[in-house]
Chain A
Amino acid sequence: MVLLTRKIEFSASHRYDNPNLSPEENRRVFGKCNNPHGHGHNYTLEVTVAGEPNPLTGMVLDLKELKDLLEREIMQRMDHRNLNVEVPELAGKIPTCENLALLIWNLLEPKIPSGTLHRVRLYESPDLYADCYRPAASNRGASNFASTYLPDAETGH
């Protein structure tokens, strides 16, 4: 099995607010993320597909097809959008990194043209990400940690 990862970046705004909680409770639970007018992030999405290289093409899947799928399903839906207002799939949900990663998994999994979706990793900042994956036996041993050193522009580390 070979793993292939495609990375894309998008920018979006959001606000954490649960209408079942009082304004005070919302501020206590969500802190700055409850700011009434929202805030935004530059998200980095890594989509990993697992499969055997096709003997004819040498590819697990055609990167162009994956790129087009990500453009159609993710970029057009989320890039430069307000996640609370403009993404109907998130209605009634808090648009956290966890929920976004789950939505992205559910949008992509049935549409991966060849191979199988192995992992969705969504970075909200260089220091925070959420992963979505199926802990299948075949995945055992694969490291789930960030594989690359991401310099943090804010702290200079």
Chain B
Amino acid sequence: MGPADTVNHGIQTKLKVALGRRYHFAAAHRLHSNRLSEAQNRELYGKCNNPHGHGHNYILEVRVSGPVDPATGMIANLADLDAFVQRQVLDNYDHKSFNEDVASFRDTDTVPTTENLCIDIFQRLKTFPQATLEGIRVEETSNNSFEYAGEHTEDAAQ
């Protein structure tokens, strides 16, 4: 189905199709800000400030959108998306320590909260050539999740 199938009904907007894909990675972090004292860090981050760090099984949800290619029926070939996410994110994140192994945190004094992970992941994925990155969502645990759709959310997300 191509754009011809996304019929406009009067004032309604065109149909949009998006693809969501979930990935998994495990990584370690320690929440500690060099701009705060030891006591302030302990007070603010609690257990997450434990000097030796801890880790999570993260789930990353990536949403892309675009026209459905009539020849393939796809917005983007999953093999291309998987390889891109693997190269841009998973190879850099999986079984690593954000504080010690990931340059975008280690070298920039960025606290590896899941909020900051979202922004870093979005930057890594926004150049996906085959479709438009709508946004990403990261589950740190099944009870905590964070979303980011860039700074122009009104344009990027529904």
Q: Does A127 contact B (CB under 8 A)?
A: yes
Minimum CB–CB distance for A153 against chain B, Å: 13
**Which of B5, B12, B21, B63 touches A127 (beta carbons < 8 Å)?**
B21
B22 nearest CB neighbor, chain A only: A127
Q: Is B63 a contact partner of A99 (Cβ separation < 8 A)? A: no
In the complex, what residues of A have CB within 8 A of residue B20's CB? Answer: 121, 128-131, 145-146
Stretch at the interface among B46-54, B70-78, B100-108, B120-128: B70-78
Q: Is A144 a contact partner of B18 (Cβ separation < 8 A)? A: yes
Q: Does A20 contact B (CB under 8 A)?
A: yes
Q: Is B158 a contact partner of A135 (Cβ separation < 8 A)? A: yes
A101 nearest CB neighbor, chain B only: B17
Q: Does B157 contact A (CB under 8 A)?
A: yes
Q: Interface size of B by Cβ–Cβ distance < 8 Å?
A: 40
Minimum CB–CB distance for B9 against chain A, Å: 8
Minimum CB–CB distance for A9 against chain B, Å: 18
Stretch at the interface among B30-38, B87-95, B109-117, B133-141: B133-141
Minimum CB–CB distance for B83 against chain A, Å: 12
Contact residues of A: prevailing secondary structure: loop
Apart from A130-B18, A131-B17, A144-B134, list 16 A-B contacts with CB within 8 A.
A96-B72, A98-B75, A102-B6, A102-B17, A129-B19, A131-B16, A131-B20, A133-B16, A133-B18, A134-B13, A136-B13, A144-B18, A145-B61, A145-B145, A149-B59, A155-B24
Complex A-B: 20 CB contacts under 8 Å = A93-B1, A99-B68, A101-B17, A102-B5, A102-B15, A127-B21, A129-B20, A130-B75, A131-B19, A131-B63, A133-B16, A134-B15, A135-B16, A144-B158, A145-B20, A145-B61, A145-B135, A146-B20, A157-B24, A157-B59
